[in-house]
Amino acid sequence: MTDGIGQALLQAVSATRGHFLYESGHHGDLWLDLDSLFLDAARMRGWAAALAGRAAGLGAEIVCGPLTGGAFLAQLIAAELECDFVHAERRVEGGMVEYRIPAPLAATLAGRRVLVAEDAINAGSALGLTLAELQRHGAVPAGIACLLTLGEAAGRIAVAQGVPLLALATLERGMWLPRDCPLCAAGTPLQDRTV
- The whole-chain average pLDDT of the chain stands at 92
What's the confidence (pLDDT) of residue 194? 60
Contact 31, 15 (CB under 8 A): yes
Is pLDDT of 1 > 50?
no
What CATH topology corresponds to 4-189?
Rossmann fold (3.40.50)
Tell me which of 25-39, 95-109, 117-131 is least confident. 25-39
Is pLDDT of 114 > 90?
yes
Going across the sheet that includes 140-150, the strands are: 96-100, 84-93, 62-66, 113-121, 140-150, 165-171
- Domain assignments of the chain as residue spans, ordered by start: 4-189
- Percent of the chain past pLDDT 90, that is, above it, reads 70
The verdict on pTM exceeding 0.75 is yes
DSSP codes, 20-42: EE-TTS-EEEEEEE-GGGGSSHH
Element (H, E) at 14: strand 14-21
What's the confidence (pLDDT) of residue 19? 94
Per-residue pLDDT, averaged over 133-155, amounts to 95
Is pLDDT of 90 > 60?
yes
Is pLDDT of 49 > 60?
yes
Per-residue pLDDT, averaged over 36-58, amounts to 94
What's the confidence (pLDDT) of residue 2? 56
CA dihedral sign of residues 165, 45, 129, 189: positive
**Each residue's pLDDT tens digit, 157-191:** 999 999 999 999 998 889 999 999 999 999 999 98
